[in-house]
Chains A and B, each alone.
Chain A
Amino acid sequence: MKFIKKFILYSVMYVSVISCGKEDDLGEVGDIPGLGGDTWARTYIDTYITDSLTKPFNVAVKYKWDPHEVSNQYILRDFVPPKEEVVIPLLSSLKNVWATPYIAETDSLFFKTYAPKFFTLYGSAIYNPANNTRVLGIAEGGKKINLLEVNTFKTVQMAGYKATDSVQLKMAFHTVHHEAAHILHQTVLYPAEYRRLSAGKYTTNWVNDTDEDARTDGFITAYSKQDPNEDFVEMVSMLLTEGEEGFKNLLDSINRVSPVGMTPNQARSVLRQKETIVVNYFKTVWDIDFYSLQRRVRIATKSYIYP
């Protein structure tokens, strides 16, 4: 009985809203500011993004300040938006070192399916003074990549380029390859034997190591020591950005026994085995000739470093 009364109550209310509401203009609902996203007067940068990335690849890029695009753990840190003048050089080079080679090895459907769909750019890194680290890239859910510290991005084609600018440049390329590879292994995991190659050596204390230290233990970079997933994508990214020869040079540079007693030859062997797994993974899972992809990426990368 009570239930019915309540029911009556609701229907009365409903009717009364309708009857009173007819005098209001409900059209205002469509005018909520910001509903449908931010808007601003479009510039050549917006046109470039639409024509070069959004239309062909369904990739969106946000370069105007929105701190809420980074994951919550970083939201309270201080960081800054990008300089407008770096946006197009950065995006066009990323397209050439990343989208174009992948599409050449597969097809645009593969790229549209597995490429991150949303880039956000930030001018500075996100710093964690507590452990002296800074975040240069964040990938979320196989969809979004935050690229940080883009303000110092400079290619050889840009005025005032110095050889040392290649460090930052390769870092940006590295970040995209790194985050894009995360999406691949999050879709289909690499073989379990990869995890066993460096079992027992993964540690969050990698922040105390240099890349050279890490290589003596069979890791391509210090960050690889974080966990097997990071190790895997760091391998992919280093192989692609450094190229076959650069990778060989890194292995040759290992010249001392590691703190845990690994000899240079053992370290090289571990890294070569990791490389083999990466190459096989790309072939069997994605039907991609990794060495061919590597050559294409490296040629494109070099074009931004050497005049």
Chain B
Amino acid sequence: MKNISIILFLVFAMLSGCKKENDRAFDQTPEQRLTASLKKYQDLLEGASNGWKAVVQTDSGRGLSYGFYFKFDNRNRVTMYSDFEPGSASTPKESSYRLKALQQVSLLFDTYSYIHVLADPDPRVAGGEVGNGYGVDFEFFFDGGNSRDTINMIGIKNGSKARFIRATKEEADAYNSGNLSNSIKFPELYNSIFTYWKSVTINGVNYQVIVSSDSRSVVINWIGSNGQPQTFTSSFYYTSLGIEFYDALINGTVVIKGFSNFSLNAADGSINVIANNTTTSLKGIANPIYVDINAAKRWWDFSVAEDDFWFSSNGFHVNGIDDAFGIGNLPGFSGLFYGANYVTLPTGQGDALLFSGQYGPIMSSPPEFTVNGRIIIKNSGFRYVEPAGTPTNPINNTRNKMNDPVGYYLVQTGPNSYDMVVASPSNATSWITWIF
């Protein structure tokens, strides 16, 4: 009996196996689907007759954004520009690429080009980190959410996020005219406005704009229609027409994707830009539109909590001059450090302002935090004595600036970076950037 039932079952299985022939999850074999997928992406990439403007954001989308332009052909060749330096922004470079079926369909830039410069583990090439470069990928798999005009990809090795956006003819022509090398001069133009606070007016709303070129990030604040302050942060990269935000700012019908077609307005020193498809100007303002009143305390508390220093590579920026006090010329200078609640003095606690992490004045701790968000730092009178022969002007000028009686506003420009700006309209041309 048992034997019979087994045989019956087998026969049934055999028949149903045949009947199900056209009822598979997919109509085609894996190989057919893979081949179709490879062809689909190949057609997509080479089908963009004006090429692709692209952004690669390192560290799974938390790091810096770098802008590229790619034009793919049907013979495994790609021509590119990158926004990393003037040469790569103005001179096209041809190299090879291929689409390959790895675990997913992937795009490999398989001989060296501008994108590899940012992945080069040799610091002599582009100054990246030894053994790691800037953490940019050159092998990507295609991520979801792709359309005819946008391709999202993820870096296989380091998890960079890449986004390709189909370029317009205007953009492509501008790349091929070397205009990307003009765009990367935006920080120069931006810094030609000496006041820290800057704004653009779009559709009657004033937007406070803070661009940090080192970290390629932008912070925009405005007062919403509900009267509440709004904050937008994004990393940015350069395109042939200007700077473009990784995420777009959306405020009702206003969509700010970046600033393009910028030029200096010689008459009043402002910068003409196109934003939200309208011409406007970026101009200096003496008073901030918005200050994060908790930022100063947050900045100070972070150093205490981490038991470590804030770092500035070149000290104060004053009236358009980086390192206005020349601290970079101090012998063996390795940076300016601020350690909150760092030392115990006979008179109480002290914050240390250390040049090269070794010598400098000690400030009274904690500093004063005002209700409107200022930090006021006072000298304790104590100091870590500098080595004999060290010039004292850079030290004393920096100390006096830190002790500005008006105090400072802090602006958070990234997860671990703040700008500290003198909180008076007349001196809002002085600031220092702290990173952790």
Contact = CB atoms under 8 A, between A and B. Distances in A.
Contact of A78 (B13, B108, B119): B119
B6 A5 contact: yes
Interface string B26-46: 000101101100100000000
Nearest to B37: A33
A80 B98 contact: no
Contact of B101 (A19, A23, A33): A33
B133 interface: yes
B110 A64 contact: yes
A31 B139 contact: no
B169 interface: no
A29 B38 CA distance: 17
B250 interface: no
Contact of A28 (B10, B14, B31, B95): B31
A83 B18 contact: no
B17 interface: yes
B111 to A, nearest CB: 5
Contacts of B157: 78
B75 interface: yes
A20 B132 contact: no
A38 B131 contact: no
A28 B130 CA distance: 47
A100 B29 CA distance: 50
B76 interface: yes
Interface string B95-139: 110101100000011111000100111100100001111000011
Given A34-B100, A41-B76, A77-B121, A65 B109 contact: yes
A78 B21 contact: no
B157 to A, nearest CB: 7
A19 B157 CA distance: 46
A43 B139 CA distance: 21
Given A33-B34, A63-B111, A81-B112, A28 B29 contact: yes
Contacts of B132: 78, 127
A270 B157 CA distance: 47
Interface in A103-121: none
A66 B74 CA distance: 21
A83 B98 contact: no
Interface in A198-234: none
B31 A32 contact: yes
A19 B18 CA distance: 8
Given A23-B21, A77-B131, A129-B131, A123 B112 contact: yes
Contact-residue bracket for chain B: 35 or more
Nearest to B76: A40
A225 B13 CA distance: 68
A235 to B, nearest CB: 28
Contact of A83 (B3, B21, B111): B111
A-side interface mostly: loop
Contact of A65 (B18, B74, B120, B139): B139
B111 A64 contact: yes
A84 B96 contact: yes
A44 to B, nearest CB: 12
Contact of B121 (A16, A34, A65, A124): A124
Interface in A47-90: 63-66, 77-84
A149 interface: yes
B98 A31 contact: no
B121 A78 contact: yes
A80 B119 contact: yes
B121 A33 contact: no
Counting chain B CB atoms within 10 Å of each CB, the highest count among A63, A123, A128 belongs to A123
A260 interface: no
Given A64-B98, A77-B121, A78-B131, A151 B112 contact: yes
A197 interface: no
B111 A82 contact: yes
Contacts of A171: none
A16 B100 contact: no
Nearest to B118: A80
B6 A81 contact: no
Nearest to A64: B110
Contacts of A82: 111-112
A11 to B, nearest CB: 10
Interface centre among B75, B112, B130 (most CB of A within 10 A): B112
Given A41-B75, A80-B112, A125 B122 contact: yes
Contact of B31 (A9, A33, A41, A128): A33
Contacts of B96: 40, 43, 64, 84
A126 B35 CA distance: 34
Nearest to A129: B131
A124 B125 CA distance: 10
B78 to A, nearest CB: 12
Given A63-B111, A123-B120, 15 more contacts: A16-B18, A20-B17, A31-B31, A31-B35, A33-B34, A38-B98, A40-B76, A40-B96, A64-B96, A65-B139, A78-B158, A83-B112, A84-B112, A127-B130, A149-B122
Return the 9 tightest CB-CB contacts between A and B, nearest first. A127-B131, A41-B75, A65-B110, A64-B110, A40-B76, A83-B112, A16-B14, A80-B116, A129-B131
Interface of B: 3, 6, 10-11, 13-14, 17-18, 21, 29, 31-32, 34-35, 38, 74-77, 95-96, 98, 100-101, 108-112, 116, 119-122, 125, 130-133, 138-139, 157-158
Interface of A: 5, 8-9, 12-13, 15-16, 19-20, 23, 28-29, 31-34, 38, 40-41, 43, 63-66, 77-84, 123-129, 149, 151
21 contacts: A12-B11, A16-B13, A28-B29, A31-B31, A32-B31, A33-B34, A34-B100, A38-B100, A41-B74, A78-B131, A78-B157, A78-B158, A79-B121, A81-B112, A83-B112, A84-B112, A123-B120, A124-B122, A125-B122, A127-B122, A149-B122
